[in-house]
Amino acid sequence: MTDDRNIFIVRCGEVALKGMNKPYFERMLVERIKKMLKRYEGVEVKRHEGLIFVRADKLIPKEDIIKQISKVFGVASISPAVEVETDMDKINEAAVQVMLELMQEKEIHTFKVEAKRADKTFPITSPEVGRIVGAKILIGCKVLKVDVHHPDCLLFVDVRREKSYIYEQKISGFGGLPLGTNGKGLVLLSGGIDSPVAAWMMAKRGMLIEAVHFHSYPYTSERAQEKVEQLASIVATYCGRFKMHVINLLPIQEEIVQHCPEEETTILVRRFMMRIAERVAEETGCMMLITGENLGQVASQTAEALVVTDASVKLPVMRPLIAMDKVDIMDKAQEIGTFETSIQPYEDCCTVFLPKHPTTKPKLEKILESESRLDAEALIEKAIASKETVRIFPQD
């Protein structure tokens, strides 16, 4: 053993396919891992020979380090490993010791060694390394047998130029691209299930996130807004801290209810939300709007309604959930930890003044005619004047 710290091998996913831009993406990924682990003292993060190596004090629980690294977008997998000098005697000794420790932790009767020789100048081929290490394990762990098809334990040996690595686990990360490699977007964040997942999915593609939230106080409560801030905080555990702009939509809703056809209320409100969000995006350097809309889920999310909604803004609208089944969205919400908060029964601005029979196939000409009855610019300015900005920090 050459290092008295715990060592973790971090593998890049899609980052590895970036060709000439790969070094840039790897540097960004290293920086994101460092930020995620900055709460721990003495942690070292370095990239070397296509991998990222994290070294941490053994007093820090391995599970904590793995949990934090696995939240970093761009990480394909993580392996806690043992590092030794690239020497067959030292590799054999370490492999036997690793297997003996594994046998104390879990019930193992059979094993298989899978060796990889990244250093092609090493005089022993990968299959030979596997056979030699396997033979040493059979001698050192006499109760074990080899099973190349269904082993209880698959032990990996990674032979590299100066150091080699032995490990058993490959813990999956989320993949994607490192945060900050794909600009910044403004997510329309509600208290529901969908929009937090949409924000998470765009962040997974490397996009920094900022948020806007609409409320209808006093029809919606302060507790409802606290719920949204809690959801944003969970999203921030993956995306890092960000700003959320909170805007009162009630005056606009009241004007629409008073002057426009009831069945058009939903789509008219939606168009105002998009235009206000566009103003906020332009003020904050966001390149696009992000929504949790899903095709056919509700009246404002039919194909016709989405076309009419998009006609209200010039910025591109990203809808990462557009073709997902609701069940799949709920599964993703549970996976990232937002689901239990999203289903808390607090009011939402979208449920205020909800028409009994909302139009599902709006015509842009009719919607524009209805909007002409309103002083749209004055209403938007008034809404933006109500804006309050909340700083969102990661939950843990």
Give the orientation angle of helix 326-336 with respect to helix 222-239, to 10 degrees.
Answer: 80
At 36 the three-state DSSP class reads helix
Nearest alpha carbon to residue 167 among 290, 78, 46: 78
Largest CA distance in the chain: 87
Around 267, how many Cα atoms within 13 Å sit in the side-chain half-sphere? 33
Has 353 been labeled as part of a binding site? no
- In angstroms, the Cα distances linking 45 to 7, 48, 153, 318 are 10, 10, 28, 34
Q: Is the separation of the CB atoms in 362 and 260 below 8 Å?
A: no
Residue 374 in tokens:
């309103």
Number of H helices, E strands in the chain: 13, 15
Has 39 been labeled as part of a binding site? no
CB contact set of 40 (below 8 Å; sequence gap of 6+): 56, 57, 60, 64, 65
Has 292 been labeled as part of a binding site? yes
Has 301 been labeled as part of a binding site? yes
Cα angle, residue 61 at apex, residues 60 and 67 outer, rounded to 5°: 110
CA–CA gap between residue 121 and residue 128 (Å, rounded): 14
Has 253 been labeled as part of a binding site? no
Strands (E), 73-203: 75-85, 110-117, 145-146, 153-159, 163-167, 171-172, 184-188
At 17 the three-state DSSP class reads helix
CB contact set of 117 (below 8 Å; sequence gap of 6+): 124, 125, 126, 129, 159
Residue 365 in tokens:
């000409």
The length of the chain is: 396
- The DSSP H or E segment spanning 222 is helix 222-239
CA–CA gap between residue 235 and residue 241 (Å, rounded): 9
- Binding-site residues sit at 188-189, 213-214, 270, 292, 301
- Binding-site residues for ATP sit at 188-189, 213-214, 270, 292, 301
